[in-house]
Amino acid sequence: MIRLLLLTALLVLSCELHAAQTVVVGSKKFTESYVLAEIAKRKLTQSGFDVVHKQGMGGTIILWQAIKGGDIDFYPEYTGTIVEEILKSRAKLTSADMRRELRRFKIGMTEELGFNNTYALVMRREQAKKLGIESISDLRKHPDLQVGLTHEFLNRQDGWGPLSRRYNLHMANVRGVEHTIGYSALANGSLDVKDAYSTDAKIAEYNLIVLKDDLGFFPQYKAVFLYRLSAPEKAIQTVESLSGTISEEKMIQLNAEAERTKNYARAAGLYFAGDHTGNVADLQPSVASQIGHWTLQHLRLVGISLILAVIAGIPLGIAASRPGPLSQTILGVTGVVQTIPSLALLAVLVPLMGIKPQTAILALFLYSLLPIVRNTASGLQDIPTPLRESASALGLEPLACLRKVLLPMASRSILAGIKTSAVINVGTATLAALIGAGGLGTPIISGLDLADAGLIMQGALPAAALALIVQWAFDFCDRYLIPKGLRLQRAI
Amino acid sequence: MAAIIELRGASKTFDDTPALHPTDLTFERSRTTALIGPSGCGKSTLLRLIVGLLSPSAGDVLFEGERLSDDNLLQIRRRMGYVIQDGGLFPHLSARQNVMLMPNHLHLDSAEMKQRLGELCELTHLPEDALERYPVELSGGQRQRVSLMRALMLKPDVLLLDEPLAALDPLVRTSLQTQLKEIFQRLRQTVIMVTHDMAEAAYLADTIVLLDSGRIVQSGSFQDLRERPAAPFVSEFISAQRALVQI
């Protein structure tokens, strides 16, 4: 009896848990965005929501499309980006202005989280102290310092040229240096001043200080969260509660932890330090289950697109096997689709369809068509004329003739086309991660952005293995799908 | 006796090159007609016009007085049996599946068809166990026997053979010629066959139609052709195929 009660209680409890609302948090493809999204995820989880974090979905445009389209509910953004890239405003907008403009898209904006991630000039802490430099204005007294700037910063509208005019700087030694090399040069003393993002993890790592922008030259890139106004009220309040709680030092520290460990949940955990409501390790899924999850997503993308390509490709191939303008059109169009770089194809489809797995499936479908169409057409065309005539002379209806005689005779070629499509598809599907459709491309693309070979391998190795398995699976299926008579023909 | 197939001024032109000039020709029931002539004379074109694999550039092809058209083509083809040089068996089907393709497609009575299959095996001298083999596992002679069975399965009104024995070695060929003659006589079958071998035509056919450059040169029995040649070409063609005994 007690057992029964316990069971019922458990059932009710689990129903309760399943009833929790799901909210989706997105992030851009860089460390800080990942960490902020993880913080929001943890906070929302504590408030009782089921939270999905779509990691590293892409750049501003993609995230903006995703939140507008309802694919995600929250993502971290910066005020400067909202004004310039999203609202495309040339005027200076106040927070109230921004909120009003965003409301037109049914999007809301939290209060500032507490830090500003903008361009900054940095120096070694002890040298700045020695020379008495605290702000950019102070550089005027030291025109002989070695300045190394990224090429982008040298040429930007809000970069070095306008900056030095504004501050009336006349630095004698300014040169362009690659970002990472610039940090090493700064650390070993061959540079004294360089440009940086104000929350760059390297600032803590190399013990640098950010020079105060005392004339307010740099645009403000204050971190906020954007959210859908239709998101659950409690979820919005939860994310809103993060505002004013992350200082620049804190963010630098979190970024440094994330880059050191490559574990964003753990870095986010630092934010909650002293808050013992959850175990970080519990929140980070194991590598194996992650890979399993990505592989399933990958198989879903490949499987659906391939099935659609077979359904559409075989009839198209049959039409293309008959001489005439239709054949040339079909082979021409599918051929052209194949030559479009996959990234370009995704870029064309995203504005039309938005950020969702269906977009990736459509792109993969289009890529899968050509091998199937071409092999179906050539398989049918390769049937010797006497056999084709024998088939016609039997008096079979055209469809029955195709189904019972011609298609089985072309089956080897058609299956080879499907196999080619499937194997190519497994590779191309890694690009689906670029538009947040998941799959094994997710760790590859994150790994590339973070220069983390281990993470890349978590996607690349299973993808390669999957391609081999698909190849074997098809070779195995050949035995059942290619009629015995044709297999004997090959063997003899 | 009524003609089963008739050509009325039927011609065929490929890209301005005439393959068959306007031709009038009738085929009678229960008779074997051989279309013969050198390569490119139009004999295969003529046969293809009859099966409807080609449609005439001008004139008509009639089956039992009915003009061949898209509407009646399927029905008429089911009343014809067509056998080509290397059999035209579908490689993905076993011999039995090849023979049973149309009966199964038309959902014909299976017991009756099974019996028919047995009769045809006997008629064509094909061992029954060969039915389970695939075309690639059969000898050239066996392939032709299976092809003949497939053509005869639906009891066709007319049997069309396009050089059926040309690819076989001489021993098999001779024995098959003997058997074919037997079969034609036993079934009182209407047969139209294309060949380039005058001896084969003389042995099997009641009527020989000799063609050259897309025109009929002479039509008649072998005796007619040999003794009353309509043109010097007729004698030339007959004597070109010298028998070994003459050497």
Q: Residue A343 is part of a domain; what is its CATH number?
A: 1.10.3720.10
With CB atoms and an 8 Å threshold, state whether A387 touches B90. yes
Mean pLDDT (whole number) for B101-126: 91
d(CA B242, CA B221): 19
Q: How many domains does chain A have?
A: 3
Q: Which of A3-17, A43-57, A180-194 has the lowest mean pLDDT?
A: A3-17
The DSSP element (H or E) to which B78 belongs, if any, is none
Residues of chain A neighbouring B85 (CB-CB closer than 8 A): 386
Task: Tally Cβ neighbours within 10 Å of residue A284.
Answer: 16
Residue B50: which pLDDT band, with cuts at 50, 70 and 90?
very high
Burial of A451 (0-12, 13-18, 19+ CB in 10 A): exposed
**pLDDT more than 70, % of chain A:** 90
Same-domain check for residues A306 and A419: yes
pLDDT confidence of residue A436 = 67
Amino acid in the structure at residue A198: S
Same-domain check for residues A262 and A339: no
Q: Which of A7-16, A139-148, A457-466, B63-72 has the lowest mean pLDDT?
A: A7-16
Q: Is the pLDDT of residue A13 over 50?
A: no
Nearest CA in chain A to B147: A390
With CB atoms and an 8 Å threshold, state whether A394 touches B92. no
Chain B contact probe: residue of A394, A399, A407 with most B CBs at under 10 A: A394
Range of the domain at A229: 22-116+221-283
Mean pLDDT (whole number) for A419-448: 85
pLDDT confidence of residue B242 = 61
Mean pLDDT (whole number) for A136-162: 84
With CB atoms and an 8 Å threshold, state whether B101 touches A394. yes
Same-domain check for residues A173 and A313: no
Nearest CA in chain B to A412: B92
The domain ranges of chain B are: 1-79+159-167+188-247, 83-156
Same-domain check for residues A60 and A206: no
DSSP string, A264-310: HHHHHHHHTTT-TTS-HHHHS--HHHHHHHHHHHHHHHHHHHHHHHH
With CB atoms and an 8 Å threshold, state whether A409 touches B74. no
With CB atoms and an 8 Å threshold, state whether B136 touches A400. no
Q: What's the predicted TM-score (pTM) here?
A: 0.66
Amino acid in the structure at residue B120: L
d(CA B244, CA B247): 5
Residues of chain A neighbouring B134 (CB-CB closer than 8 A): 484-485, 488-489
Q: What tens digit of pLDDT does each residue of B205-242 get?
A: 999 999 999 999 999 999 999 999 999 999 888 888 76
* β partners of residue B63: B5, B66
Q: Is the pLDDT of residue B142 over 80?
A: yes
Flag whether A3 is in a domain. no
With CB atoms and an 8 Å threshold, state whether A389 touches B135. no
Same-domain check for residues A252 and A379: no
Q: Residue A156 is part of a domain; what is its CATH number?
A: 3.40.190.120
Record the tokens describing residue A221, joined without a space.
């890139």
| Alpha carbon of B235: minimum distance to chain A alpha carbons (Å) | 32
Mean pLDDT (whole number) for B100-126: 91
Same-domain check for residues A42 and A111: yes
Nearest CA in chain A to B78: A395
Mean pLDDT (whole number) for A152-173: 83
With CB atoms and an 8 Å threshold, state whether B90 touches A390. yes
Q: Is the pLDDT of residue B159 over 70?
A: yes
With CB atoms and an 8 Å threshold, state whether B136 touches A411. no
Same-domain check for residues A438 and A316: yes
Same-domain check for residues A274 and A417: no
Same-domain check for residues A191 and A226: no
pLDDT confidence of residue A6 = 47
| Alpha carbon of B226: minimum distance to chain A alpha carbons (Å) | 33
Residues of chain A neighbouring B106 (CB-CB closer than 8 A): none
| Alpha carbon of B151: minimum distance to chain A alpha carbons (Å) | 8
Residue A157: which pLDDT band, with cuts at 50, 70 and 90?
low
Q: What tens digit of pLDDT does each residue of B172-202 get?
A: 889 899 999 999 998 899 999 999 889 999 9
| Domain-ending residue, one of A252, A283, A314 | A283
CATH ID of B1-79+159-167+188-247, from 3.30.565.10, 3.40.190.10, 1.10.357.10, 3.40.50.300: 3.40.50.300
d(CA B64, CA A82): 84
Residues of chain A neighbouring B82 (CB-CB closer than 8 A): 389-390, 393-394
Residues of chain A neighbouring B75 (CB-CB closer than 8 A): 395
d(CA B157, CA B75): 12
**pLDDT more than 90, % of chain A:** 43
- Nearest by CB to A485, from B75, B84, B134: name it: B134
pLDDT greater at residue A188 or residue A134: A134
ipTM of the modeled complex: 0.88
Flag whether A376 is in a domain. yes
Largest CA distance in chain B: 55
d(CA B247, CA B245): 6
| Alpha carbon of B116: minimum distance to chain A alpha carbons (Å) | 18
Same-domain check for residues A275 and A324: no
With CB atoms and an 8 Å threshold, state whether B135 touches A408. no
Q: Residue A90 is part of a domain; what is its CATH number?
A: 3.40.190.10
DSSP string, A130-192: HHT--BGGGGGG-TTSEEEE-HHHHHSTTSHHHHHHHHT---SEEEE--HHHHHHHHHTTS-S
Residue A279: which pLDDT band, with cuts at 50, 70 and 90?
very low
| Alpha carbon of A485: minimum distance to chain B alpha carbons (Å) | 4
| Alpha carbon of B149: minimum distance to chain A alpha carbons (Å) | 13
